[in-house]
Amino acid sequence: MDAASLLLGLLLGALLATAVTLGVVTLLARRRPAESGLEPVHESLDHLHRLIAGMERARATAHGELREQMGTVGQTSAQLKQETAALVTALRTPHVRGRWGEVQLRRVVEVAGLLEHCDFVEQPASVNDSGAGVRPDLVVTLADGRQVIVDAKVPFTGYIEAVQATDEATRQQRMSAHARQLRAHVDALAARRYPTAFRPAAPFTVLFVPSDGFLTTALEAEPGLLEYGFGRDVVLATPSTLLALLRTVAYSWRQERLARDADQVLEVGRRLHARLTTLSGHLTRLGSALGATMARYNETVGSYETSVLTAARRFDDLGVGEQPVPEPQQLEATVRALRPAELGNEAAPPCENDTRNGTHG
């Protein structure tokens, strides 16, 4: 409607300008001859007619577009109102409310980086110490093997009615009702005794509130609600606080895995050290055996040279043999001993008489 008012003002301004122009032309015509005074008037009137026609077409177009946009806004508003009413109606149903809370809990767990069937289990069934069957929404396993139970079924009908309230008195009344509903759910959750059904478990149960606004509204009406839950071993957690808790759990899991891997590396190192000790013993005994073998060999060569080879040389002198008897040489190589442990990091100088370089006569 603002565009139409603007166009109407422009039209009135143009008409006023036309009237002024006609007055001026009339005055000029009185001062000029009659045959030449009407020609400028006709030209001005034609120009004004074209201008007014263009403005009218623009006004009609703008008015049509504005009407179409207003119709679209009205349809969108009606559709949004219907969707909001349908959502409120759905959230009033306990089954839908519980399912929505479970979906929110699942998203928080996934963002925290926990793995299903490894770090947490959804809706496991068990029996508490009084023999009653229980089934929480989530059980998170900590690094030390303890478990944390999380329940996501929270009533918030009073919160919806408080949001829809049109006056402050009704809003305050419904906020108080919402706080009482949450308080009653804390009592019901404490009566289920979840920690006794899952052992070993933390001595408390986490009550997951799917929205921070739900808990904030309840705390406005009843500030001592958190302390009330702590006194009954029930911790009220919103998505933000539960995310921090689960991220801490995931971090403890990673640290536990790193510690376990470090223990395995230490165990492998111990086994390798024991095997190296055994191998070093074998090498020491083998070196001693090699030294003793060379000593026995040299003794045998000396005995052979003094007692046997002398007689064989006389056959060579008499020309009995076709070729001289070869003379074996003594071995003068030494077996390399293992260095002390304090010198183990230094570079080992090559040994001239190392057995790896062959034997020397």
**CA separation for the pair 245, 280 (Å, rounded):** 52
Q: Enumerate residues 6+ apart whose C-beta is below 8 A from 44.
A: 18, 21, 22, 25
150 in any annotated domain: yes
In CATH, what number is assigned to the domain containing residue 251?
3.40.1350
Question: Does residue 228 contact residue 234 with C-beta atoms inside 8 Å?
Answer: no
293 in any annotated domain: no
Domains identified in the chain, total number? 1
What local confidence, expressed as pLDDT, does residue 320 receive? 67
Question: Does residue 167 contact residue 154 with C-beta atoms inside 8 Å?
Answer: no
Eight-class DSSP state of 116: B
188 in any annotated domain: yes
Helix (H) or strand (E) segment spanning residue 162: helix 157-164
What local confidence, expressed as pLDDT, does residue 93 receive? 60
What local confidence, expressed as pLDDT, does residue 359 receive? 41
Percent with pLDDT over 90 in the chain: 6
226 in any annotated domain: yes
**CA separation for the pair 64, 246 (Å, rounded):** 57
Q: List average pLDDT for each run of 10 residues in the chain, which is 361 residues long.
A: 61 68 64 56 76 82 82 76 59 58 77 70 87 88 80 78 82 88 91 88 87 85 91 89 79 76 84 87 84 84 78 71 71 70 48 41 33
Eight-class DSSP state of 335: P
307 in any annotated domain: no
What local confidence, expressed as pLDDT, does residue 67 receive? 81
169 in any annotated domain: yes
For residue 198, the enclosing domain spans: 90-255
What local confidence, expressed as pLDDT, does residue 257 receive? 74
pLDDT digits (tens, 9 = 90+) for 70-92: 878 877 777 776 666 655 555 55
331 in any annotated domain: no
Closest CA to 240 of 126, 112, 357: 112
15 in any annotated domain: no
Supply the pTM of this predicted model. Answer: 0.47
What local confidence, expressed as pLDDT, does residue 336 receive? 73
